[in-house]
Structure 1
Amino acid sequence: MIGICLLLFGCGNSKNEKNQTDATKEIEKSGKLVVGLDDTFAPMSYRDNKGEIVGFDVDLAKEVGKKLNLKIDFQAIDWAMKETELNAGNIDLIWNGYTITPERKSKVAFSDAYLENSQSIIVLKKSEIQTKKELAGKVVAAQQASSAVDAVSKKELATFKNKELIEFPSNNDVFNDLESKRSDAIVVDEVLARYYTKLKGADTYRTLEDTFGKEEYGVGLRKNDKKLKMKLNEALKELKSDGTYDKIYKKWFAE
């Protein structure tokens, strides 16, 4: 543990202690950072044909690890439990297209924003839906505990069928529900929408011009890990200034 390991109580459970004080020294001593992510969120982080976790956030995290001289361990988690996993000490960072929102700021600390995004509305190519207003009376779905859920206002939600947003554990489930025509439309991150459209072809999906708002991605940390936050921000700035960020961006987002 950091500094003196309280002798009166012994060293205790290191996972629980991580949330009690700045765990940066402990992390540096272990030589690794545990990154929690959703392994179905392409192209930010997902499993390739070999079952390996790849993606934009994965490559970026690895480069930050090099800057910090730390090994990055990627751990797939239940996205609905991400803040709980972080604050319990099971992971050290939430790094997976994690949108910065006021509600999340009450639970975690955020790095500087590193990527812009928006909440896109996706329908099947032949759908008659053309605008956000036309979602009235329709079945709309999204991933549970995602920023898509937060982006839909109560007023907008009240217009959906049964006045609800259908929620699924993974983004794969969300897209499958749309393809099966159980949902009329889905709300997902723009980066994910672009990836699936490219993967399935423009003849499968159509993205509406309307969105549920713009947002920014950041890395989530425990609020006590102030030194880690400072070092993480410095590393991200260096990657942008030395051209590494642009190379990773081009790899994953080139049209």
Structure 2
Amino acid sequence: MIKRYCSVLLVSVFLWAYAGLLSAGALDDAVRRGVLKVGTTPDYVPFEMLDKQGRIVGFEIDLLRAMSRALGVELELIAVPYTDLVSGLMARKFDLIGSGMTVTQERNLKLNFSDSFIVVGQTVLMHPRLAGIISSVEELDDASYRVVTTRGTTGEAAAKRFLGAAQLSTVTTPEDGVQQVVEGKADAFIHDAPYNLIAMSRPQNSALLSLEQPFTFEPLAFGLKKGDYDSLNWINHFLNQIAQDGSYDRLHDKWFRDTAWIAEIE
């Protein structure tokens, strides 16, 4: 009887420990291995992008580096196409998504999101032939206009929502979208305001026109697997801490007020 009791007890302890491992959060896993693995798509200026040395840099990347230091771990950035971020997280290829991802109701059905670390919106870049013709996004909602967006982004969703009558197409990267407008292959490009603002500052894009007022409200956040509330709690406290101690403002000014970094980007 005692032997049977001990066997049952050992099995119970094992199952309890195993269940604990299964329920461990992404940040717990990162601390155990000493590395925080983050999935990102480095083509979203100035949040994540490649510098001339091929390193991934940007505002969100600096936030992740600060997060890793606070955790006491190294940061490993895993570059994947934007459309592969959610599936990569589900396949445990990385611990969280840090890639300028907008919190949407559709995505929230698949992921849990941290508190937002910045709010952006969609804006429009246009070919100069539309000068004096188009003054609002609503005026682009016409079958005579060709509008391009980046595949899998909220820019694509916004175009489908607001510009259903226009000729809509998608490209793989925002650089491709801007280039199509520069070359006259498209009339307008829709993408997040920070990226479009910086794209306009580049000499090769200087002739483009801009509707600078965002026409959507889009909070960006870090994405984690559903149910990982311990990790969410830690990240939210981290974001609150850096907002209070001035770290966030310093990083924000570095990437959104200063322009020295532009010379280091490809």
TM-score range (shorter-chain normalised) is 0.7 to 0.9
1:134 paired residue number: 139
1:117 equivalent in alignment to 2:120: yes
- Asked if 1 retains the 8 angstrom alpha-carbon contact of 2:138 and 2:163, the reply is no
RMSD over equivalenced CA pairs, Å: 2.2
Decide whether aligned partners of structure 1 residues 52 and 36 sit closer, same or farther in structure 2, where only a CA change above 3 A counts.
same
Cα distance per residue 1:33-60 (max 9 Å; x no partner): 1111111111111001111111101111
Decide whether aligned partners of structure 1 residues 122 and 108 sit closer, same or farther in structure 2, where only a CA change above 3 A counts.
same
Structure 1 residues 208-223: aligned runs within 5 Å: 208-209=211-212, 211-223=214-226
Q: How far 1:235 moved relative to its partner?
A: 1.0
Q: How far 1:134 moved relative to its partner?
A: 2.6
- Asked if 1 retains the 8 angstrom alpha-carbon contact of 2:182 and 2:205, the reply is no
Compute the TM-score of the two structures, normalised by the length of structure 1.
0.86
- Asked if 2 retains the 8 angstrom alpha-carbon contact of 1:44 and 1:57, the reply is yes
Structure 1 residues 49-68: aligned runs within 5 Å: 49-68=52-71
Name stretches of at least 5 consecutive residues in structure 1 with no aligned partner: 12-16
Higher mean C-alpha displacement, 223-232 vs 209-218: 209-218
1:74 equivalent in alignment to 2:77: yes
Identical positions, percent: 25
Cα distance per residue 1:157-212 (max 9 Å; x no partner): 33102xxx211111121112111211100110001011111223773222215543
Cα distance per residue 1:51-102 (max 9 Å; x no partner): 1111101111101111121211111111012111111111211112111110
Q: Which of 182, 192, 210 does residue 189 from structure 1 map onto?
A: 192
Higher mean C-alpha displacement, 68-77 vs 98-107: 68-77
Q: Separation in 2 of the partners of 1:203 and 1:127?
A: 15
1:180 paired residue number: 183
Q: Which of 136, 139, 150 does residue 157 from structure 2 map onto?
A: 150
Q: How far 1:215 moved relative to its partner?
A: 1.4
Instruction: Find the residue that maps to 1:95 and give its secondary structure.
Output: strand
Matched residue type, 1:132: V
Higher mean C-alpha displacement, 214-223 vs 120-129: 120-129
Q: How far 1:227 moved relative to its partner?
A: 1.1
Q: Separation in 2 of the partners of 1:254 and 1:74?
A: 25
Matched residue type, 1:40: D
1:92 paired residue number: 95
- Asked if 1 retains the 8 angstrom alpha-carbon contact of 2:27 and 2:95, the reply is no
Q: Separation in 1 of the partners of 2:170 and 2:215?
A: 16
Compute the TM-score of the two structures, normalised by the length of structure 2.
0.83
Q: How far 1:232 moved relative to its partner?
A: 0.9
- Asked if 2 retains the 8 angstrom alpha-carbon contact of 1:36 and 1:94, the reply is yes
Instruction: Find the residue that maps to 1:40 and give its secondary structure.
Output: coil
- Asked if 1 retains the 8 angstrom alpha-carbon contact of 2:103 and 2:113, the reply is yes
- Asked if 2 retains the 8 angstrom alpha-carbon contact of 1:125 and 1:203, the reply is no
The structure with more radius of gyration: 2
Q: Separation in 2 of the partners of 1:210 and 1:243?
A: 28
1:159 equivalent in alignment to 2:165: yes
Q: Separation in 2 of the partners of 1:204 and 1:33?
A: 42
Report how many residues are paired. 239
Instruction: Find the residue that maps to 1:152 and give its secondary structure.
Output: helix
